[in-house]
Structure 1
Amino acid sequence: MSSETVRGRLTDGELSPQRVAGLVAAVLLAGLVLWGFAFPETQAGRFVAILTDRSTLAATLRLSVPIAFAALGGIFAEKSGVINIGLEGLLIVSAFGGVYMADVTGSVWMGLAAGIVASTLLALLFAVVCIEFRADQIIAGLAIWLIALGLAPFASQVVYGGPNTASVDTVDAIVIPGLSSIPFFGALFSATPFVYLMFGAVAASWWTLNRTSFGRWVNASGENPKALDTAGVNVTRVRYAAVLLSGVLCGFGGAALSLSIGQFVGSGSTMVNGKGFIAIVTYLFGNYNPVGALLSTMLFAGLDALQLTLQARDVFAVPQPLVRTIPYVTVIIVLALFGRTRIPKAAGEHYESGDE
């Protein structure tokens, strides 16, 4: 191959430095896995054993739920033109609301409904501030997060006498006999209802965005709101609906997070602990596609589950604080090598009917 051809392919992006680095990383990872399978008594072998253990997939699915729901909510809001970085705050209030109502009523499902209502009301406040009063969306999103970060632990302090709530009942896993005993993939058939709701929400979100009139309106609202307005569709209503839908989806995620554990933990950055911000990264990496966002979420959640097990079993002679950085460092590397996100053209821009 001539040097001119190589330069041409580099220019066209076929052999870009990012792709070359990605291929090298993939080859190294594949080599590590093969080495681990061939020599199970080595550190590589123990690492592969953890990687392919059913408990790792089970933990990945459990950790994915709040992030995936928040990512879906962020997709609807941002594709409509409203950047909602307050996803973290929506998760926090729904996590507390879910446990509180479950404690009062004794029903996990009433708790889930309460978490959705709490998140949706806070999303409505965000929508009014951003759409009606044209506030800066980034600042408003940060305000929503800070409000929730202070409000939920305060409410827990008032009701329960501390930042952490009392414990409530949790939901049992749905076990499919036979399939649940399959090595590794059996975790897919022995999971909580929240995991299956996550998969259903991803499918429903993809269908809504790609196969319905509302989905086309959401896309047009974020790409060319003037054209949507000219076609006779109220852009403001579409954006309100999209932001409220982000509140509903975050409500599922936050309530599922706390109800899966049976308690809301309000200490420090609360039990949500940055999952809303991680959700933003996952849907950006997934290029605003619900399926892509789910895959990105499972990548991060899988790495998180992996580092938790590596810490517990002390596989590598590496300080635990460094092991805890594995998910974040890996995501940064993957974004640098493969990130190709195109943000909606009108994202963050205010619009009113008649605007030029």
Structure 2
Amino acid sequence: MSSAPAASGGLETIYEWYEKVGRIPRLVIGSLLVAAVFGAVINVTMPGTRASTVVGIFDTSFVESTLRIAVPIVFAGLGGIFAEKSGVINIGLEGLLIISAFTAVAVTHLVSGGSAASQSTVWIGLFAGVLASTLLALVFAVLVIEFRADQIIAGLAVWLVGLGLGPFLSIVIWGSVNSASISTLNTVTVPGLSQIPVLGPIVFDASPIVILMLVTIVASWFVLNHTSFGRWIEASGENPSALDTAGVDVHRVRYVGVILSGVLSGFGGAGLVVGRAGRFIGSGQTMIAGDGFIAITTYLFGNYNPIGTAAAGILFAGLDALQIRLQQIAFIPAPTELIRLVPYVSVIIVLAFVGYTRVPSEAGEHYESGEE
């Protein structure tokens, strides 16, 4: 009978220790466990693989691939921060990514007349995708802010609209859920800076979408932490009545937050196709393949901080790039299904060790001026 209290006390001691350990140390522990997972997978699926072969995976091209894969995840994650910190939960990020990706390809294809598109045409396609995503986000905002629709249900509707409309219109235009190929944006090379070892090829000889993503991360952090608008966004999600009392229109702040989620998701989805893929794939869950939902995980992982959100998005993208590289190692073939699970399992492990994320207290709650 005495063992039960002892066991309970032991668990409480472990829990108290876990709570006292900082977020970063827990992240380090989680990352070490991720490394252990990869080591186990490589040892089981590819016995005899040399350590030098695995280490050789992490070259400059691997980092470049990681950043390209991270584009839709990071952009959508940053957009989700603005919406949710303002008090509106937008789980329709996946739908915004899909509709922007399709629109970017469709407009580029139609404007170019089906021939090789010029760079200006590709940019037109990019901004058309952003516009489509923004308009869909605006519809979502009207539903949840003006008509007080359930935010989760409305967000699911946005996802389903993108999931159904993109492939359907693709069939209308190309006769298939998969589009024809289009031109992509050329790499931007900064003379001199591109010659810097390691950093140069990654940052100063990269896709303009990747450069825009890195700039947006810093800009989002600055806006949320060092501007009046950032304070309004936070107050709208934490204490809207106080913001209302201060004379700031809560509805307007929430509208801007949701619209920004549409703009940023638009750059993510459209940037994916004009920056890397060069076509829209509408089969299955479409080419977005859950990136919008992963984006939600990243800003929870990052505790609504743009820097942490970007780090989480790049972490997942790196794991995804790594599982692709692992399948290319020419030793004993590894089961593809097993390796594809590694990024998802690894993210779950890291999330488990990062700890509790504080959601804005009024997220998901409707507000009317004058409410207490």
Query: If the length of structure 2 is used for normalisation, what is the TM-score?
Result: 0.85
Structure 1: 5+ residue stretches without partners: 34-40
Structure 1 segment 111-190 matched on structure 2, within 5 A: 111-176=125-190, 180=194, 184-185=198-199, 186-190=201-205
Aligned to 1:56: 62
- Structure of higher RCO (CA pairs closer than 8 Å, 6+ residues apart): 2
Equivalent residue letter for 1:291:
I
Query: Does the CA contact (< 8 Å) of 1:43 and 1:315 recur in 2?
Result: no
SS at match of 1:264: coil
Equivalent residue letter for 1:138:
I
2:282 is equivalent to residue 271 of structure 1: no
Structure 1 segment 1-356 matched on structure 2, within 5 A: 11=16, 13-14=19-20, 23=29, 26=32, 29=35, 43-50=50-57, 52-106=58-112, 107-176=121-190, 180=194, 184-185=198-199, 186-260=201-275, 261-314=277-330, 318-356=334-372
Equivalent residue letter for 2:185:
V
Map Cα deviations across residues 66-105 of structure 1 (whole Å, 9 max, x no partner). Answer: 1111001100000000000000000000001111111122
Query: Does the CA contact (< 8 Å) of 1:75 and 1:283 recur in 2?
Result: yes
Change (3 A) 1:314 1:208: same
Equivalent residue letter for 1:11:
E
- Counterpart-to-counterpart distance in 1, 2:95 and 2:86: 20
- Counterpart-to-counterpart distance in 2, 1:344 and 1:330: 26
Change (3 A) 1:20 1:53: closer
Aligned length: 343
Query: Does the CA contact (< 8 Å) of 1:43 and 1:316 recur in 2?
Result: no
Identity of aligned residues (%): 57
Change (3 A) 1:57 1:28: closer
Equivalent residue letter for 2:148:
R
- Counterpart-to-counterpart distance in 1, 2:190 and 2:35: 33
SS at match of 1:78: helix
Map Cα deviations across residues 207-253 of structure 1 (whole Å, 9 max, x no partner). Answer: 11111111111100000001111111110111011101110111111
SS at match of 1:325: helix
- Counterpart-to-counterpart distance in 2, 1:164 and 1:319: 27
Change (3 A) 1:322 1:90: same
Equivalent residue letter for 1:47:
V
Deviation at residue 110 of structure 1 after TM alignment: 0.5
- Counterpart-to-counterpart distance in 1, 2:34 and 2:178: 44
Aligned to 2:3: none
- Counterpart-to-counterpart distance in 2, 1:65 and 1:210: 23
Query: If the length of structure 1 is used for normalisation, what is the TM-score?
Result: 0.89
Deviation at residue 318 of structure 1 after TM alignment: 3.6
Change (3 A) 1:181 1:290: same
Query: Does the CA contact (< 8 Å) of 1:300 and 1:331 recur in 2?
Result: yes
Deviation at residue 177 of structure 1 after TM alignment: 5.0
- Counterpart-to-counterpart distance in 2, 1:184 and 1:316: 31
SS at match of 1:266: coil
Query: Does the CA contact (< 8 Å) of 1:95 and 1:115 recur in 2?
Result: yes
SS at match of 1:351: coil
Query: Does the CA contact (< 8 Å) of 1:123 and 1:244 recur in 2?
Result: yes
Change (3 A) 1:150 1:28: closer
Equivalent residue letter for 1:111:
G
Equivalent residue letter for 2:16:
T
SS at match of 1:348: coil
Structure 2: 5+ residue stretches without partners: 1-8, 40-47, 113-120
Equivalent residue letter for 1:44:
A
Deviation at residue 303 of structure 1 after TM alignment: 0.5
* RMSD (Å), alpha carbons: 2.7
